[in-house]
Structure 1
C-alpha cells in the first residue's frame, strides 16, 4: 500500500511555496523543524498584573511578546518527536507559523519510512475536502477508501488496526455548515478508530470548543537558532550560486542581529514574516531604509494576501471590511491601549469594547470580530485566558504611529515625548511623514513638549547654571553638545544617556565619559579636577577640541597648594588617612568653595525624587528629538539649526533666542 502511494505523496507534498519567490522549492531544502509548546497560551490561567510584571522585568532588553507569562524557560519539544506519543494532536498556531509545512514534513518522513513506519500517511487539506468530500457526506472512511483504492473490508482492516496516520490541515479554513459537519466527523472518526493517529492543525483562537481525546499543543515562534537555520536554507535555496547564497546569508544575519534592527528581528519569528524579511533583503541587499515599509507589507500580507494565496474565503462580519478599514480598526485599538500606563495587555471585555465603539455594533458581534482577527491574521493573541495583546509590539507601535499621522494630532503625540516606550512610535511617525511642512510642525511641538518637562523653578535655575557654565568654555563644539556633556555627568542616581552629546555634535565622540570626568560633582571632585588642571597633557582629547581652560593665577596657586597637600596620599597612605579623618571634611568643603568660585562647579544640589525623574525624562526626550532630527533629511535647515541651538536651555533663554530669530517686518 505504501509503495503504491509513494510517488503520489511525494508529488503532492514534496515541494512548498516560498514567499517572495515565484516557484515552488523542495521541502527538504527549506524545512526547519518547528518547536511545540505543550501548554497552549489561551489555556493558561494568569492574572493580567502578573503578565504585565513579567513583561516589564524583561522589557529592558527583550521586546518580543511571545514569551510573556512563560517565565524564563518554556519547555519546547521537537515537532517531529512529539508524534512518537501516538496520541491525537490538535496543533494550533498563528497564521504563517509553519503548520502546513509541518504536516508536509510529517507525511514525507512517514512516506520514506523514517517516521511512524508502521502507518500509511495521508494529508488532507480541509479547505479542499469541503468539495472533495461532499459526495461522501464527509465520511472519512469512505473518502480514504476511494483515495487509496481499497475495498470496504480492507479500509476497515487498515483503520481498525491503527495502520493510518491521518493529517488534517486548516480546520479554521472550513466554516459555515460544512465546517460544522467536518468538525463533527473528525471527532466521530477519532472515537471510532482510537488506534489511528490523527493530527489536526488550526489557527490559534479559531475553536470555540475542544475536541475530546486530543492533546492540544502550540507551534512556538522561532528562536534565534531556528531563525539562523531558516535564513541559511532560504538564501541557499533562492541563490543559484552557492557562494552568493553563503555571502547573502552572512550579511543578512549580521544586519538582522544589529541592535538598531531589534524591531525587525522581533517580527522575523514566524516563517511567513521571516520569508518576507529575507525576500526584501534578497531584492535590495539591505533592509528597507524606512522600516515602516516592512511593517506595512507584513500587515498587508497577514490581513489580505495570506488567505488570498491559499484561496481561503471567510464568512464573518469582519470579512467585508476593506484593508484600510481593518487597519483603522486595529489602529484605534492599538492607540486606546498604548496611551495607558499598562500599554500591552487587554482584558477581553475591554478589547471587545474598543471594537464595539469603533464599528458601532453589538457586544456579541464585537466578540465575533475579535475571534476573526485572531484566527484569520493572528494580529491579536490570547496570551492567557481572556487576556489579550497584539502579536508583535512592533505592529502595535506601527499602528499607533499610523493613527497619529492620519489624524495629524502631533500635539497629542508630542505629549508622550518623555515616555521611553513611545520611542519606536516617534521613529515610525517620522518615517511615515513625507511633507516638509509636516516635519516643521512635528518637530516644533516635540520641542515645546520637551521643554515643558522642566517647568519647575529649581530645575530652571539648574538649566540656567548649565548654560552659564557651558558658555564659559572656549571650544568649537556646538554649545548644546557641551551642555549635554555636563548634563550627562550630572548624578549617577539620575538615569541619563551618554549618547546625547555625540548626537548633537560628533566631535565629542573621542571623549570617553567614564574615564575623563571633569568639573563635575563626584565623590572626590578635587582629585580629577586637580589632575586635569595641573597635568593637561594627560587629557589630549580635551586639548584637541579646545575644552581646556586657562587657569586664573590665584586659582592656579591654590591648586598647587592643594596638590602639595594631598601628595602624601601617594607616598604614605596611612599618614594621609589619619590626616583626612581629622581635616578631610573641612578641607573638602574649602576646596569645593574654590571650585564654585573659579569654575562654577560642584554646587551642592539636592533634587527630589520627582525632580530626578523629570531630569531623566527631559534628557531622554532631548535624545529622542535628536535621533528623530538625524533621521530626517528634508527638514527646513533653519528650523533644524534653531532647535539644536535651543536644546537644554532654560525657557527664558529659549524665548530670547526665538525672538531674535523672528523675521523683521
Structure 2
C-alpha cells in the first residue's frame, strides 16, 4: 500500500482514455491491439502502477514545503491557505503618485492594499480559466498555489479543481538552454514513472487536452533565455490549445507577454487567511492541546505587534514568523532583530533557496552594500513623507550612490540595479508604471532607523520628529539597533525634550498635583508609576461631565476611563496608564472624524490586548449614536467596581470616595427615572464630588486646544520614552535610574 490509492483511480481513468488513441499498429490503435491479445488486464496493471508512481513522484517533489531552514518538511495540503486572486484591472488601477498617496492617507493603515471590489477564490478561478497567468511578489505563494492545483487535480471529482486532467509541473528556472522542447520535458515525466509508450502517450494526451500544464516561475528563467522561452511556450500553447495552462511570474517582471492568458494577481493575505495559516501550521495534537495557534494569533494581534503583523500578509514572511514563534513562543524581544532577519530573507535567503541565478550585473553589489543603499532611499523618502517614488528619482539615487562609493562596482547602471532589486527580491515594488514603494512599510521604517543610527543622527531625529506618530516605529527600532553604544543617548534626548514640554504652565501644574497627592503614599508602586496613575485619573475626570450631550470625544473618554480602571485593578505598572492617557488627550484635540476614528482604533487595540470587551461601546462611538443613559451606565459600573480597588491600592496619600460613591448612586437613580432636570443637577454634584475626592479643581482638568496639545506632546514623549526603554538592547542602569527618578515630575523640581 502506497497511501495514494484513493488518488490513483481518477488518474488511471484519464490515462486509459488517452491510451485508446495512443500510437497505431497496422491501422489499429495501440490500445486496441493490446486488448485483442488478451493483455488488457496487464495494461491496466501497468497503468495503475505507473499512475501510483507518478502521484508519488509529484507528491514527493511538489507536495511538501521546506523553506527558511526548516528542520522537517510539512505537507502542503496540511498548511495550504485559501488563496484569493485579484482581476487584471486591479493590477494597474492607480493613475498617479498622488492617487497612491491619497489612497494610503485615507485608508489610515500601515499596509497598502489593493482596493478590490471582489476577491475570488484561487482554485475556483483556475477551474474557470483555461489559460491563467498568476502574478505576485516574491514570497506571495505563487509556486505553492500551482503545486496545490496539481494536488487537487489528482483528487478527481472529490477535489476542488473541476477538470479531469493530469498535472505536469515544469520549473522554468531549469530552462538553462536557449532552445527548449516542452513536449520532450513532459514525455520525460511519464517515461520516468513507467507509462507505456510514453512518446505516443504524451502526444495523445496533448492532442486530446488531457493535461494540466503548470509553468512555474517565468521570472526565474535566466535573462539570456527569456525571449526564446516565451516564444517556445506561446507556440506550444497554440499547438496544443485543448489543454489547460497555469503559469506564474513575479509582477515586476511580467510585461503582458502571453496573449491568450488571463492575468490575475495573488492578493496579500487578509486577517482571516493569516489566522487560517497559523491554525494549519500549528495543527499537531500537542499544539492543539496547548492552544499554540490561538496564542500565536493573539500575540500577533496586540497593538505593539502591528508592524510584525504587516509582514504576515506575505506568506513567506508569515512562514518566517511561525518558525520564530514555534522556536521561542514569541516573535522577538527586540523587534529590530526580527525585521533584520525578515529583510535578509528577501535580500538573499529566498533567492538562494529557490536556486535562482543572480543577474550578472547584480552580483557585484554585496548584501551589506545594498542595505546601505536601501537605507539611504528609505530614510530620504520617510523624512520627506513620501511613500511612493518615481523610477527616475530612484535611478538617480542609485547612480549617485554607486559613483560616490569607492567599493561599489562601477560597471552597474542605476536602471539595472533597480530592476534586480524589484524582480529578484521584491523589496521595492512597482505599484503603477514607473512608480515604486517599499514592499512593507515595516522594512522602510527599519531601514530608516538603521540609516539614522549609522549616521549618528539621533539628536536630530528627536528634535524634528519626537511627537510625530509616523516616526514612532522608527524610534523604537533605533533603540533596538543600538547594541554597540547602547540606547542611553536616545533616551536622554527624549527625556530632555519631554522636560521642555513639561514647562508649559498647565502641564507643570498637573505634574505638581500628581506629585503632591502621591508622594510618600503607602502603595507598593514605584513613585513614577503612582504619578502616572494619578495623571490618568485626573484626565479621566475631564470626560465625566455626562450632564452635557455625550459627543464622540466624551465617548472615547468613557471607553478610555474603563481601560484605565481595568489597568489599575490589575495592578499594572504606570507606563500603560500614560499610554492610554496620551490617547485620550489625542482624541480630545482631534478635529476630524478620521482622526477620532483612529483614536478609537487605538483604544480598541489596547482594550483587546487586555481582554476587555468594549465592542458595544466602540460600535456606539463609530455610529455617532451614543445613548446618554447606556454610555454613562457603562462608565459608572466600571467606576463602582474598580475605584474601590484604587482606594485600597495606596497610590494616593489620601483618597476619600465616600461622598463620590453616594453621588454616583444619586446620579444612577436620576438616570433610571429619565428626569432631565435631576440628571443635570446630580451630574454636577457627581463631578464636584469626584474633584473633591482627588483634591482636584476645575483649573487642573479644563483644557483648551493649545493646552491639550501641550499635554499630549508631553505624555506622548513620556510614553515613547518608556517604550524605547523596553526595546533597548543595551542600556546603562545608571542612566535609567536618573531618568526614572525625574519621570512625571515638574521641571526643576
TM-score, length-normalised on structure 1?
A: 0.76
Q: Give the counterpart of 2:652 among 519, 527, 547.
A: 547
Aligned position for 2:375: 331
Q: Give the counterpart of 1:466 among 510, 532, 541.
A: 510
Distance 2:736 2:493 in 1: 13
Distance 2:54 2:643 in 1: 79
Do residues 183 (structure 1) and 226 (structure 2) align?
A: no
Distance 1:95 1:246 in 2: 34
Deviation at 1:419, TM superposition (A): 0.9
Do residues 214 (structure 1) and 214 (structure 2) align?
A: no
Deviation at 1:154, TM superposition (A): 6.6
Inter-CA distance 321–13: structure 2 relative to 1 (3 Å threshold): farther
Deviation at 1:153, TM superposition (A): 7.3
Inter-CA distance 347–649: structure 2 relative to 1 (3 Å threshold): farther
Matches within 5 A, 1:569-584: none
CA RMSD of aligned residues (A): 4.6
1:196-247, CA deviations, whole angstroms, 9 ceiling, x for partnerless residues?
32211111201245321211111122223322332233233xx5xx234552
Aligned position for 2:443: 395
Inter-CA distance 510–265: structure 2 relative to 1 (3 Å threshold): closer
Aligned position for 1:643: 739
Do residues 622 (structure 1) and 727 (structure 2) align?
A: no
Inter-CA distance 466–166: structure 2 relative to 1 (3 Å threshold): same
Inter-CA distance 313–77: structure 2 relative to 1 (3 Å threshold): same
Inter-CA distance 448–145: structure 2 relative to 1 (3 Å threshold): same
Deviation at 1:335, TM superposition (A): 0.9
Matches within 5 A, 1:51-450: 51-59=100-108, 62-65=109-112, 67=113, 69-70=114-115, 74-113=117-156, 114=159, 115=161, 117-131=163-177, 137-145=179-187, 147-148=189-190, 157-236=204-283, 242-244=285-287, 246-247=289-290, 248-340=292-384, 342-360=385-403, 365-415=413-463, 416-435=465-484, 438-450=486-498
Deviation at 1:312, TM superposition (A): 1.0
Aligned position for 1:481: 532
Q: Give the counterpart of 2:64 among 16, 25, 50.
A: 16
Tell me the SS of whatever aligns to 2:498: helix
Q: Contact 1:33–1:102 (CA<8 Å) still a contact in 2?
A: no
Gaps in structure 1 of 5+ consecutive residues: 522-530, 552-558, 658-665
Distance 2:97 2:444 in 1: 18
Deviation at 1:172, TM superposition (A): 0.6
Q: Contact 1:356–1:363 (CA<8 Å) still a contact in 2?
A: no
Distance 1:246 1:146 in 2: 46
Deviation at 1:9, TM superposition (A): 4.5
Inter-CA distance 486–644: structure 2 relative to 1 (3 Å threshold): farther
Distance 1:78 1:575 in 2: 56
Gaps in structure 2 of 5+ consecutive residues: 1-13, 16-46, 192-196, 405-409, 522-526, 544-552, 589-635
Inter-CA distance 544–156: structure 2 relative to 1 (3 Å threshold): closer
Inter-CA distance 576–74: structure 2 relative to 1 (3 Å threshold): closer
Deviation at 1:546, TM superposition (A): 5.8
1:44-67, CA deviations, whole angstroms, 9 ceiling, x for partnerless residues?
2244334333333443xx4333x2
Q: Contact 1:167–1:198 (CA<8 Å) still a contact in 2?
A: yes
Distance 2:200 2:575 in 1: 85
Deviation at 1:406, TM superposition (A): 2.1
Q: Contact 2:482–2:728 (CA<8 Å) still a contact in 1?
A: no
Distance 2:374 2:512 in 1: 49
Q: Contact 2:506–2:700 (CA<8 Å) still a contact in 1?
A: no
Distance 2:654 2:96 in 1: 59
Distance 2:736 2:344 in 1: 35
Aligned position for 1:44: 93
Distance 2:474 2:577 in 1: 31
Q: Contact 2:137–2:250 (CA<8 Å) still a contact in 1?
A: yes
Deviation at 1:549, TM superposition (A): 5.4
Distance 1:407 1:487 in 2: 42
Distance 2:533 2:330 in 1: 36
Distance 1:574 1:418 in 2: 44
1:365-408, CA deviations, whole angstroms, 9 ceiling, x for partnerless residues?
32332222222122222333443322222222222222222223
1:304-360, CA deviations, whole angstroms, 9 ceiling, x for partnerless residues?
1111112110215333221211211221111111112x3433333333343333333
More divergent stretch after superposition (479-488 vs 258-267):
479-488
Q: Contact 1:232–1:246 (CA<8 Å) still a contact in 2?
A: no
More divergent stretch after superposition (45-54 vs 300-309):
45-54
Deviation at 1:424, TM superposition (A): 1.7
Inter-CA distance 541–381: structure 2 relative to 1 (3 Å threshold): same
1:84-138, CA deviations, whole angstroms, 9 ceiling, x for partnerless residues?
223311111122222112111222222343435443321110111325xx6xx31
TM-score, length-normalised on structure 2?
A: 0.68
Distance 1:452 1:360 in 2: 43
Distance 1:406 1:337 in 2: 17
Q: When the two structures are aligned, how many residues end up with a matched partner?
A: 598
Deviation at 1:625, TM superposition (A): 0.9
Tell me the SS of whatever aligns to 1:168: strand
Distance 2:437 2:470 in 1: 16
